[in-house]
Structure 1
Amino acid sequence: MSVHELKRPPIADITEWRVEVPQALEQLRHWAQVSPLQPALRHKRHGQWFVWRWIDALRDVERLADGLSQQGFTKESRLVLSGAFEPNLLLLALASQHIGGELLTFPDNLDPESLHKNLWRSRPTHAFVQDRQTRQHWLNEGQSLLNFADLLGPVELPQRLNRWAQGKPLWSEEGTQWQAGLSVLLEHWLTSGQSLAFPESPDSASRDRREVAPSGLLLSAERLQLLAAEIDSRLAPQGTWRRRLCDWAIAHPEKGLQRLIKNRVRGRLGFQNLHFIWQATRAPDAQPAPAWLSEFKRDIA
């Protein structure tokens, strides 16, 4: 743990970091039984899309749980996850729930001082950190880190996905800086039985999202604003006749020409299959969603 000698509180308040996913394992087992060969998770790695079927996800969770147990993880243990949301992180989260230990997430952009304070308060027994530079900050605090490959052991690589299976996935391009994000992802993914897709990196998120053309976006309030800025940059400049045409189409989609224009623009944005955007209730000072997003948005208190 921390090499600094600080007096720790007898009981740390960790509510803000705790992840609770009731019935998650039961739901995972359900989909592995009724749809074992259907895609559960999709992730782009080294320029290629890979897929985990529901049965693959369940088997990996069981292997990871065995690996965690061998690393001394028990019902009394506390695991902290930090990094981008992708299959490894989700499966490890479920493995910790399989054993019954406590699960926390830390933002993956903490400065060293904030990280030190969080570790001092939370006192994790185990930690999994993805980013190489961030890992060094944790090691400097005396925190030993888990290695995913060691936990999982020798298994077959995920299947390369040459073409999309039937149905369009949910989409996430977030990380643990979205405090409630992991609970949101696990709940929607395991309740719906839809596959959940992730980009290769934050820099490729826009391109990868257009390739996937998802049916639903799971977004924090901050990410929704970034998406709105991205959409605005892809449309014609404000004041031009092309922009006025786009705005006219979204305002009056009931007529044939406007509907055609709107659908073409949605296709360019990768929204041709989009049905909803999940977003926690936005802050009072946040900018309203642009017209191209507001029709999909579902505010959740």
Structure 2
Amino acid sequence: MSVQSLKPATPVQWPAECLEDLPGALVQLRHWAQVAPLHNALRHVRDGQWYAWRWIDVLRDVECLADELRQQGFGVQSRLALCGAFEPHMVLLALAAQVVGGQTVTLTDELAPGRLHQQLWRLRPSHAYMPGVWLPGEGVPFTRMLPLRDPAPRLAHWWQALDSSPLWSVEGTGWQGGLTAVLQQWLQSGQGLAFAQPGGVQLRHAWRFSLVRTLQRARRARVLYGILAALTGVTFIWVNSKGLFS
């Protein structure tokens, strides 16, 4: 009986990076789904409308997405590429891929379409989720593109109270080490995580909270906090790439 050796995976280097292995992620997720099942875990504003996922919703969606990934051929030898602004479906997919055991890589969303296309050909991911990203030519034939899901089932109704001080993420895959930092801080703290619509909309929503905690790069945080402080007089803290408040 012969054993066929697998072709070594293409090394991952910036402008791409591997999502760190989070061995305790599913345990932490199940913990919050058990002790705080109806508390807000994820929130997203899109076109002025809020969508919300409770901890029990997050656990169910991750388990369902893991099954869907398996049905689409994703396994321990597969590679999922993520590119774009951080938002709930990207977070859920990243966790689902961890459950299945495949590799997740992020590609900076600051690449021009041509360079992004080249990176995909170099990394050859089996699956990719890149909402709003346009690729030249015929795309990448070896990669299954995963669609953006309709968030309508998670529409936040007026009677669903929103936490007064969630963690805010206003970044994307251009933040080196960012997705790992966001997932670790969110799952360790059990706080709700809110995502604003790209394009500066976060400024119109973040000021509503008496204390804003954001997960983002320091250089961008200083600019954002300066603007918000001038507008509102609010005190701000931020979380660096190691998940520490500064």
Query: Structure 2 length normalisation: TM-score?
Result: 0.84
Instruction: Output one character per residue of 1:167-200: Cα deviation in whole Å (capped at 9) or x when no partner.
Output: 5211110011112110010000000000001112
- Give the corresponding residue for 1:19: 19
Q: Which residue type is aligned with residue 136 of structure 1?
A: L
Taking the TM superposition and a 5 Å limit, the aligned residue runs for 1:251-290 are 268-269=232-233, 271=234, 274=236, 276-280=237-241
- Give the corresponding residue for 2:3: none
- Give the corresponding residue for 1:108: 109
Quote how far apart the aligned CAs of 1:144 are: 3.6
Residue 185 of structure 1 pairs with residue 194 of structure 2:
no
Contact 2:84/2:173, CA 8 A, preserved across alignment: yes
Q: Distance in 2 between matches of 1:214 and 1:75?
A: 41
- Give the corresponding residue for 2:146: 146
Q: Distance in 2 between matches of 1:200 and 1:214?
A: 20
Root-mean-square deviation (Å):
2.7
Residue 199 of structure 1 pairs with residue 196 of structure 2:
yes
Q: Distance in 1 between matches of 2:130 and 2:95?
A: 16
From 217, 222, 225, the equivalent of 2:219 is 222
* 1:224–1:182 Cα change, 3 Å: same
- Give the corresponding residue for 1:28: 29
Quote how far apart the aligned CAs of 1:227 are: 1.4
Taking the TM superposition and a 5 Å limit, the aligned residue runs for 1:46-195 are 46-131=47-132, 134-137=133-136, 139-142=138-141, 143-149=143-149, 157-162=153-158, 164-195=161-192
Q: Distance in 2 between matches of 1:85 and 1:212?
A: 20
Contact 2:164/2:209, CA 8 A, preserved across alignment: no
The total of aligned residue pairs comes to 234
In our comparison, the structure showing a higher alpha carbon Rg is 1
Q: Distance in 2 between matches of 1:297 and 1:65?
A: 32
Contact 1:78/1:103, CA 8 A, preserved across alignment: yes
Instruction: Output one character per residue of 1:202-221: Cα deviation in whole Å (capped at 9) or x when no partner.
Output: 33111121134454211113
Q: Distance in 2 between matches of 1:192 and 1:137?
A: 41
Instruction: Output one character per residue of 1:95-144: Cα deviation in whole Å (capped at 9) or x when no partner.
Output: 1111010011111121134223322332211100111xx23348534444
Specify the SS of the correspondent of 1:171.
strand
Alignment gaps of 5+ in structure 2: 1-6
Specify the SS of the correspondent of 1:95.
helix
Query: Structure 1 length normalisation: TM-score?
Result: 0.70
Instruction: Output one character per residue of 1:39-80: Cα deviation in whole Å (capped at 9) or x when no partner.
Output: 101111221222110000000111111111111101110000
Q: Which residue type is aligned with residue 185 of structure 2?
A: H
* 1:213–1:122 Cα change, 3 Å: farther
Quote how far apart the aligned CAs of 1:161 are: 4.5
Name whichever structure is richer in helix by fraction.
Answer: 1
* 1:213–1:201 Cα change, 3 Å: farther
Specify the SS of the correspondent of 2:43.
strand
- Give the corresponding residue for 2:38: 37
Specify the SS of the correspondent of 1:32.
helix
Quote how far apart the aligned CAs of 1:148 are: 3.9
Q: Which residue type is aligned with residue 85 of structure 1?
A: F
Q: Distance in 1 between matches of 2:137 and 2:190?
A: 35
* 1:148–1:113 Cα change, 3 Å: closer
* 1:138–1:86 Cα change, 3 Å: farther
